[in-house]
Amino acid sequence: MTYCCAIKINAGLVFLSDSRTNSGLDHISTFRKMIVYEKAGDRFMVLLSAGNLSISQSIREILQVEQLPDADGGEPITIWNAKSMFDAARVLGAAVRRVYERDAAALKQAELDFNVSLLFGGQIKGEGMRLFQMYSAGNFIEATSETPYFQIGESKYGKPVLDRVITPGMPLDEAAKCALVSMDSTMKSNLSVGMPLDLVVYETDKLQSDKLVCIDHENPYYRMMHNSWGKKLREVFDSIEDPVWDGAHTDTPLKMPAEGHGALKKIRTPGDKLI
């Protein structure tokens, strides 16, 4: 399994992926889930992948040479000459469908699904940043201000902090921190997600990035963040008052009051006294 997330805010883009691939608890391997396509001053794009490793690796290779016909009869469109991220995403979708045409039948005979999901984002000179989530059919959706991040893989454990923290106007470093907390929460709850991590932070209109880092257990910032997050969560939990009861015994389930001062009320049963 794996976990990848990508965040698009006004200040830039954040991409984060783990590198664990496993086929059971006794067969764990490390494979990179991230690849960067960069032509400094012209385009900067990042691809994250989850799902069947053989499928995602094939898509990566084919993407380097995949072409789409130009509607005006010009030079075929590739990720390296596409004039928009939308066209680059179309090329990626075509690569996904090409691998499907080649491998899907054989996979089905082996009782395996064509299972792949991708995050693809970046910026091409002349337009703004864009971020897409692509499905196994080669179709895709785009991030918006209302939905500023995407996740693939083991996403449920890292979603709550993204929902609570990510906003379009937040600073880029805070978005990177939030992504790392999301990953840390996922690794805490799921052993199929693990280090090393790959992190890319891209600033709007730079068309290149020097903020690419591989993070392992010895990374000092990650260790500080991991320890601080766990400690602060415990402190916040301890600061919340414990439930207040009226002392009466009942086997009836509890429900929160619609209004009041934080006391828990019981569902009324014969002889019960409510707070």
Q: What is the mean pLDDT of residues 160-185?
A: 97
Sorted by where each begins, the domain ranges of the chain are 3-235, 243-275
Fold of 3-235: Glutamine Phosphoribosylpyrophosphate, subunit 1, domain 1 (3.60.20)
Q: Which residues make Cβ contacts (< 8 Å) with residue 59, sequence separation at least 6?
A: 49, 92, 95, 96, 99, 116, 118
DSSP structural state of residue 68: B
Q: What is the pLDDT of residues 87-140, one digit of tens each?
A: 999 999 999 999 999 999 999 999 999 999 999 999 999 999 999 999 999 999
Q: Is the pLDDT of residue 22 over 90?
A: no
C-beta separation of 187 from 216 below 8 A: no
Q: Which residues make Cβ contacts (< 8 Å) with residue 82, sequence separation at least 6?
A: 88, 90, 91, 124
Q: Is the pLDDT of residue 23 over 50?
A: no
Q: How far apart (Å, rounded) are the C-alpha atoms in residues 150 and 142?
A: 9
Q: Is the pLDDT of residue 175 over 70?
A: yes
Q: Please tell me the pTM assigned to this model.
A: 0.86
